[in-house]
Amino acid sequence: MNSLTQDIKALLNLAWPVVISRTGILTLGIVDTMMVGRYASEHLAYLGIGMVPSNIFILIMIGLLMGTSVVVSNRFGAGDYSKTGEVLWHALPWGFAIGLIGFVFCYFGEFWLLLTGQDAVLAEKGGHISIIAGLSLPLAAVHMTTGFFLEGIRNPRPGMVIMIIANIINIFANYFLVYGVYGFPEMGAEGSIWATFIVRCMQVVAILSYVWFFLDHEKYGLKRPKISWSGGRELRRIGYASGISMGLENGAFNALVLFAGFLGTAAVAAHIIMINVFALFFMMGLGFGVATAVSVGNAYGAGNMPLVARWAWLGLSIQSLIMVVAGVLMWVTAQQASAFFTNDPAVFTLAAAMIAWVSVALVFDTGQSLLAMALRARGDTWAPTYIHFLAYGVVMIPLAYLLIFPLGRGAMGLADSVIFGTFVPFMLVIWRYRQLDRRALGAPSAAPAQS
């Protein structure tokens, strides 16, 4: 077995490009929020409400496509490199089809917002945002699927480079389309979403070009595409469970946006700022989660159960240490972070207070995400889904309503519910992983069933 130092080095070498890549996803949204927030607070509210349908669907989509990462990492760990490309060929059309369904869902964004009781004007403006956001979902699905494949074969750096370039393009596209400079139309919040569409087009072209022109097609089995419905059964089975799980989690978080809508425009804007700052730090931790899950998947594919246990707890330990530091930094810089997004005094004050308080949840949320991914990487497909249903459906949403309205916590109740809603799954996934470790390590002669 590798020494602890070697394992840490291996994990960090895989993690840091993923950290930059995942953080880059959020910085795209943060640039959107920051530029629109400085354009007008009401447009920030339109953006926040309008993104609810696509935000709900995109995490469901990520979950549905996560089987790509699991199956590829298992086959890579087992040394079946030539069979990893087969997974990609099955996953790409599956992902594109899911993205098209997402567009249809987002097309009726105004209807969904009105159904939740949102103000008619807010729902109308948000509905336009939702349609534009939906257009880029098929592109996002193709990019994600290919990125999962590259991470599964332990080659995350191309995705990192593409994400860095995407962020640079996004800054300029937002500036041109939100504010209407250099002859471009002044579009406010809608311009920001069109900028996202442009960026996603670039990402798809770039990542597919890398796979086609720079990867060893023979080694990874990319020269012989074999696409069939039955061939993708394994990745879909994993995807169904993780898609439901992520849908529950993201649905709960977006329900908080809807609750904020009942408190007024300032509360919506402050909540959007809080979530963006929280998500930025979360994505840093998520990078370690992805690296851990890939390492667990490789070990599971090789049938090495002691390493399956070792990688998970090592990854969680490193991640938790970093997230404690990140949480302190988030709390200390809450006011400065709020000032980046808005110059509205009411929104600034509320957002700063919410950012400082919700920093407590960083360790819980990143930790539960890491172990949930690690559970799926070792073939425990449905347990994280059951845990997330309990945590978000039974605990988080009802508790949020209780805190915000009957108990009078108002906007601060949004932050309260994030803390409690992430602590519950954190404790449950720890219990589940320890339970599986005891079973597996207690019977070392039993080979793990391949998922």
Delimit the domains of the chain by residue range: 4-442
Note the pLDDT tens digit of each residue in 198-224: 999 999 999 999 999 999 988 998 987
Amino acid at position 428, single letter: L
Tokens linked to 188: 């406010």
Mean pLDDT of all residues in the chain? Answer: 89
Q: What is the pLDDT of residue 451?
A: 39
CA distance 376 to 383: 9
Stretch 120-134: mean pLDDT = 90
Question: In the structure, what pLDDT confidence band is assigned to residue 2 with cuts at 50, 70 and 90?
Answer: low
Min mean pLDDT across 58-62, 292-296, 331-335 is at: 58-62
pLDDT greater than 80 at residue 285: yes
Q: What is the dihedral of CA 344, 417, 412, 273, to 10 degrees?
A: -10
Q: What is the pLDDT of residue 300?
A: 95
pLDDT greater than 60 at residue 447: no
| H helices, E strands: number in the chain | 19, 0
pLDDT greater than 90 at residue 287: no
Stretch 444-450: mean pLDDT = 43
Question: In the structure, what pLDDT confidence band is assigned to residue 449 with cuts at 50, 70 and 90?
Answer: very low
pLDDT greater than 80 at residue 390: yes
pLDDT greater than 60 at residue 250: yes
* Sign of the four-CA dihedral 153, 155, 156, 161: negative
Question: In the structure, what pLDDT confidence band is assigned to residue 269 with cuts at 50, 70 and 90?
Answer: confident
Tokens linked to 127: 């509905």
Stretch 155-173: mean pLDDT = 95
Min mean pLDDT across 50-54, 151-155, 353-357 is at: 50-54
